[in-house]
Structure 1
């Protein structure tokens, strides 16, 4: 596929208010990531080669026409990917249609990664191990090392739900002690990560603060996670891998 790339961001949640105002929703957060990744990758003009649209699929009803986009990107979400809710069923069915399309490519992050797993028939649900939060390391498969161009990968994480087995069609990319299915890949079809390449320290810290206030995280878990929120991570490396995936012929 050649640029310009028409990428539809399916916003599966709304960021916290201050983050939403600053970045313009998750569509804005991912625009920031993909443009930064294009600069690092080279060969893709971040201003003219990335045509990014966004669709609120939780509170809205409009989806992109698959004939008018080159890729869809499913964002993270506070919602459960396994929930029996109408908008989630609609998203799963749309993902199946995109997967069956002969041209459109799919990118999934966290909740989006899980929705893609669900659409491909993999089991999705709560982890028995619990939350994986803040910057965490993961181990890469050989294909993961090839696609991400590194021996190890660190990403911001914020999940207690997982894809608990790989769909038979996909190539595994990564694992961690708390999540065996950290990434999935099918050439020219889909690429996913369980982590959040789009999160920076500001976004992660805001989520940790809110979930501490809500009593979701204990004082000890909050402080430990906050201490790692500023650690270096490979978000732009993953973003560059997404763009290389779109370039695959």
Structure 2
């Protein structure tokens, strides 16, 4: 894939509060992640740093999408919405995702809600988990393919979800699992890579989400306090960002 890598970030939600003040939109969080991933690839792999051209599209309110002729990869962000709902904008997003999957040049990256949308587009069950919320920094048990792609033996990632992809589609390779979520990442060479966790998040972003959802009564005191005790732990977001870059570069 030629430089610059043209990446369209489909913003499936907007941040609030301090996170919105600092970053504007989730697309900017992903731009930071991808830039850090490109730096890591150059440093660790001893290659010229890939240049990135990141564009952002609000698919919730404006429902504007990129032309596939003008991009090399499409990244679907996380969201507070349910990936299994049938709101018009969600159905439109699923159809666009299927369109990307039907061709073989533009590659797909999915994170949390985006990971679930890709699962839905591949016709596997996506729904509320019967194991409840998975939040804050969580260890992910990697498969051999996951270890190879992420370049690490053990992974920890921020999580903020209670919806899951229930089973792996036949067309993908599993990347990892946790006690509460069997499908933590999917990969198909030259086609797609996804993670259920949030590599773009940091302790400040997740602390604000935990605070808000605690105030709203979504998380009880015990759940909130336990999650806050893990929110500043090491997480491997940049390793995931580097894997996204390598995925876009692979032949």
Contact 1:127–1:162 under 8 Å retained in 2: yes
Contact 2:41–2:49 under 8 Å retained in 1: no
Q: Which runs of 5+ in 2 are unaligned?
A: none
Q: Give yes or no for the alignment of 1:90 onto 2:89.
A: no
* 1:181 match: secondary structure: coil
Residues 165-221 of structure 1 deviation map (CA, whole Å, 9 limit, x = unaligned)? 011101100000000000000001000000000000000000000000100000110
Q: Give, in whole Å, the separation in 2 of the partners of 1:45 and 1:244.
A: 11
Q: Give, in whole Å, the separation in 2 of the partners of 1:55 and 1:21.
A: 19
Contact 1:38–1:44 under 8 Å retained in 2: no
Q: Give yes or no for the alignment of 1:33 onto 2:60.
A: no
Contact 1:12–1:76 under 8 Å retained in 2: yes
Which residue in 1 is equivalent to 2:212?
210
Shift of 1:2: 2.9
Shift of 1:44: 5.1
Q: Give, in whole Å, the separation in 2 of the partners of 1:56 and 1:98.
A: 17
Shift of 1:61: 2.0
Query: What root-mean-square deviation, in Å, do the aligned CA atoms of Structure 1 and Structure 2 show?
Result: 0.9
Q: Give, in whole Å, the separation in 2 of the partners of 1:44 and 1:222.
A: 43
Shift of 1:103: 0.4
Within the candidate set 160, 163, 183, 1:161 is matched to 163
What is the TM-score normalised by the length of structure 2?
0.97
Which residue in 1 is equivalent to 2:227?
225
Q: Give, in whole Å, the separation in 1 of the partners of 2:73 and 2:59.
A: 16
* 2:182 match: secondary structure: strand
Q: Give, in whole Å, the separation in 2 of the partners of 1:238 and 1:202.
A: 19
Query: Alignment length, in residue pairs?
Result: 247
Shift of 1:45: 3.8
Q: Give, in whole Å, the separation in 2 of the partners of 1:170 and 1:37.
A: 23
Contact 1:16–1:207 under 8 Å retained in 2: no
Which residue in 2 is equivalent to 1:8?
8
* 1:180 match: secondary structure: coil
* 2:27 match: secondary structure: helix
Which residue in 2 is equivalent to 1:51?
53
Q: Give, in whole Å, the separation in 2 of the partners of 1:217 and 1:44.
A: 45
Contact 1:3–1:44 under 8 Å retained in 2: no
Shift of 1:150: 1.1
What is the TM-score normalised by the length of structure 1?
0.97
Shift of 1:100: 1.0
Q: Give, in whole Å, the separation in 2 of the partners of 1:208 and 1:44.
A: 39
Which residue in 1 is equivalent to 2:149?
147
Q: Give, in whole Å, the separation in 2 of the partners of 1:61 and 1:179.
A: 30
Q: Give, in whole Å, the separation in 1 of the partners of 2:24 and 2:49.
A: 21
Q: Give, in whole Å, the separation in 1 of the partners of 2:173 and 2:37.
A: 23
Q: Give, in whole Å, the separation in 2 of the partners of 1:138 and 1:196.
A: 12
Which residue in 2 is equivalent to 1:130?
132
Residues 135-181 of structure 1 deviation map (CA, whole Å, 9 limit, x = unaligned)? 00011111111111111110000000000001110110000000000
Which residue in 2 is equivalent to 1:81?
83
Residues 219-248 of structure 1 deviation map (CA, whole Å, 9 limit, x = unaligned)? 110010011000000000000000000011
List structure 1 runs of 4+ shifted beyond 2 angstroms: 43-46
